[in-house]
Amino acid sequence: MSWAWFHRLGSPKWFYGRFKAWPKPLFCLACLCLVVAMVWGLAIAPPDYQQGNSFRIIYVHVPAAILAQSCYFAMGIAGIVYLVWQIKMSPIFLQAAAPFGALMAFTALLTGSIWGKPTWGTWWVWDARLTSVLVLLFLYMGVIAVQSALEERPLADKAAAVVSVVGLLNLPIIKYSVEWWNTLHQGATFSITEPPSMPMAMWLPLLFAVIGLYLLTAAVIMWRMQTEIMRREARTQWLKQEVLSDGI
């Protein structure tokens, strides 16, 4: 099998051409999944025997928390790819993914504290997971700040890659440090590999919500990447042709 098509994706021109048509269908699919998940989870799924209806926030909280981590993981990998191979698409991805990841981390924190009030009786505890997601949010903010504060493009790209790689190395350390330090939050609720610990009627909508949010993330990041490619390659001939042939 030839890997040429894969290597070509490192160039903005090929990436733009190949994935130009993807975001819209992905976005529609994501919306469909999320609507199914929300209706099913918020209206149809049975209430929890202990928490009643307040548990339903899980359908926002858990997917957002999962995405916050996945986004950072992907950014760390992209950072390594940039530092090692200097592939042009990596900083574009970093720039596209960082604000979205930060939004996910913020959503996870916000819904978590709203959920914490009725179940734990407090908006915030200095607990392992809460603290590590908070640190994750700070790491995202660091990447965003570096990108916007440094004026020189090559330097900003390098710096963002360095920060996300160092953050990636630090993430497990942060996670375990706070876990051994203090913990109240329950263990992981959602796993593909293990049989679910909650009944199917509650678990299936969660699965839909996670898949839907993954698709939404992919669509939004691709859109943002396309915009970023257009901004960076604004002077090139191929982009002019591309835009003109779109009938603008």
In whole angstroms, the minimum distance from the beta carbon of 235 to another protein comes to 21
Q: CA-CA distance, 32 to 38, in Å (whole number)?
A: 10
Question: Contact between 162 and another protein (CB under 8 A)?
Answer: yes
Nearer to another protein, 60 or 81 (CB): 81
| Count of residues near another protein by CB under 8 A | 28
Q: Hey, what are 238's tokens? A: 């191929």
Q: How many CA atoms within 13 Å lie on the side-chain side of 202?
A: 17
Nearer to another protein, 3 or 180 (CB): 180
* Rg over CA atoms, the chain: 20
In whole angstroms, the minimum distance from the beta carbon of 81 to another protein comes to 14
Question: Contact between 174 and another protein (CB under 8 A)?
Answer: yes
Exposed/middle/buried for 85, CB within 10 Å: 0-12, 13-18, 19+? exposed
Question: Contact between 178 and another protein (CB under 8 A)?
Answer: yes
Restricted to residues 102-141, the positions that interact with another protein (CB under 8 A) are 135, 138-139, 141
Q: Which long-range contacts (CB under 8 A, 24 or more apart) does 186-195 make?
A: 189/58, 189/62, 190/62, 190/66
Restricted to residues 78-97, the positions that interact with another protein (CB under 8 A) are 83
Q: CA-CA distance, 99 to 223, in Å (whole number)?
A: 13
Question: Contact between 155 and another protein (CB under 8 A)?
Answer: yes
Binding site for another protein (CB under 8 A): 83, 135, 138-139, 141-142, 145-146, 149-150, 152, 154-155, 158-159, 162-163, 165-167, 169-170, 173-174, 177-178, 180-181
